[in-house]
Structure 1
Amino acid sequence: MYTLSSDFTISTFLKEYWQKKPLVIRQGFTTFVDPIDEHDLAGLAQEEDVDSRIVSLHDDGQWQVHHGPFSDYETVCQGKWTLLVQGVDRYSDDINALMEAFNFIPYWRMDDVMISYAVDGAGVGPHTDQYDVFLVQGKGKRAWRVGVPGNYTPHYPHKDLQQINDFEAQIDVVLAPGDILYIPPGWPHDGQALQDCLTYSVGFRAPEQHQILQHVTDELTSGLKQGLRYSDPNLSQPRHPALITSTELSALRGMLSDLLASTDCDNALMSLLSTQHLPDTDIGILVTTDEISAYIEEGGLITRTPGCKPVFSEHQTDSDFTFYVNGEAFTTPSSLKELLWEILKGEPVDNTMFINSDDKASLLNLLAQLINHGYWEMSD
């Protein structure tokens, strides 16, 4: 549905720009048509499980931030205001398709699509982000200024709004519908709507050390699996009772290294890298393999739900193939591996794919699990 312009070369971008420097991509999407409008966005921001906020600058120079869900827009849409809604790709097939246009970056690095609707003159102020982002311009026009990385001191004009002082712009552009601005982490930027406009922020994540360690620790301890305990059968009398020797510290670090090199740690990392905070889905009555089989044979399609981004490790056993969705592991016979390469990148399961499967029973069992978890669905 969304295809980047042939003038955009993925290999050149990854070599010269990704995490290195910003890039303006004029007409990255030619003849771009907004997949959503401000009314749809406002409707989403009324939902309890949707992360949304309104940032506004008033005539007296004061900034305000209001968090959704919103029931009354009249009181909060004052001054120069922007409505921002996170994770819209998890609720819309069309927005999910927009994110898929950037799948030359691995799924596990993808975070979400935030959409902002800003009135003329509105913005959120100069700031830096710690993630990569492609800013896709929808309807209207927005001016962007981008500086160079530096030691910018954050300040808070509102307790929920972090900004930095103004900076010298290296890039000063106006984006029109279909234009894209790529900004790496740490590069200061500031956008201002020149007219009422929509902007799609395709964001990417990069987990921090402490986040990785915390998740791995939680995963490894949640199963109450007994780990290796420190021992010192060859202990000799220390020179001082308070002394911890380099040998002892080295042994403790070795225990951690062994744990981090274990299969259990790999599984915990895969769980972390597949977590996408997908919305809770009320499946209702669970679907059976017989129902799925009949549905496919009648021409139905089984497709991924919006925002679902499965991942799998390069290392697989000869007998099984394991992949992860939203923190959960799914293991199937390796006979489905070739088919799963297509399914996991978004190809719908249709009757032709089903007929050509070498292991229909395993495929049906897997589809039943995925559908009943809310990760795939029987498309109408």
Structure 2
Amino acid sequence: MCDQVRKVILPKTSLKLKNIDKDTLFILYEDMLLGRSFEDMCAQMYYRGKMFGFVHLYNGQEAVSTGVIKALEDQDYACSTYRDHVHALSKGVPARSVMAELFGKETGCSRGRGGSMHIFSSKHNFLGGFAFIGEGIPVAVGSAFQSMYKKQVLQDKGLLSITVCFFGDGTTNNGQFFECLNMAVLWKLPIIFIVENNQWAIGMAHHRSTSFPEIYKKAQAFGLPGIEVDGMDVLAVRDVAIKAIQRARIGDGPTLIEALTYRFRGHSLADPDELRSRQEKNAWLARDPIKRLKRYIINNSFGTDHELNCIDIKVKQNIDDAVDFALSSPEPKVENLKQYLFAEDIC
């Protein structure tokens, strides 16, 4: 049987968004740059033996994290995958806390017990990274359910909290995806499902792993909106995210967003990345979301090279500080090995 090949047509977007201002553009640029710089430093630290285990980097996909999460309110929730560092940073988890966690230090956001694939922060409503594909989707649905329960049963008068759930294209062939879409629509839960379609599930090309490659169209089976967006265009992502958030906030239920994106590195830092062609990589590298936003800011007179260079310096200082903090932080004590496994009795 021949593979049913989906030809990925890269949208010719022009990075335009109504009512966008300089401050917002600078926030988006800084957040994407922070994510990219953080991951580049992770690669350095990993190869220097400061990090262990599997480390999956997010380079190239920053427009999705920034475009979605920076459109949320602080009270909203985000649920990630094993490629979770940048989602956490976008949600406001300090670079210090994430880096220390990657170093396995007590000062990490998961107290050094989680590592790269289990970044978590209750304070920032970041529900965590999950090592197995699809594992976070039911958790995110539970989060959205409690938001609705608080509003409808407990008569909470505040703003309805939204949950955004990130996962990859490979996950959409798993049962949790379909079961949770069905439940979310049935109960009109305030959740947004974000498919980060980076074209590859480890070493399996997306078009070879599914009989229906256009993931956003799978929403039709359950009666929720399905939207395809250029995942290399932060303003396009932000635009569809804002509309989906508004829809969920007023009680109209979930949305499925498929963001067409690409990871610039291998699946993990242990992956030699020999399966993807150079031609394919170069086509996506030419659409680097950070460079595109920088050109847009300068070409439309929202900012100058000097202003953006100042942001670059600020981000670099933040990353250097995070590494220094992680290096100087204490290791977890052996006698506390079982701490944090269960809720502590505070009575």
What TM-score do you get using the length of structure 2 for normalisation? 0.22
Higher helix share: 2
TM-score, normalising length: structure 1: 0.21
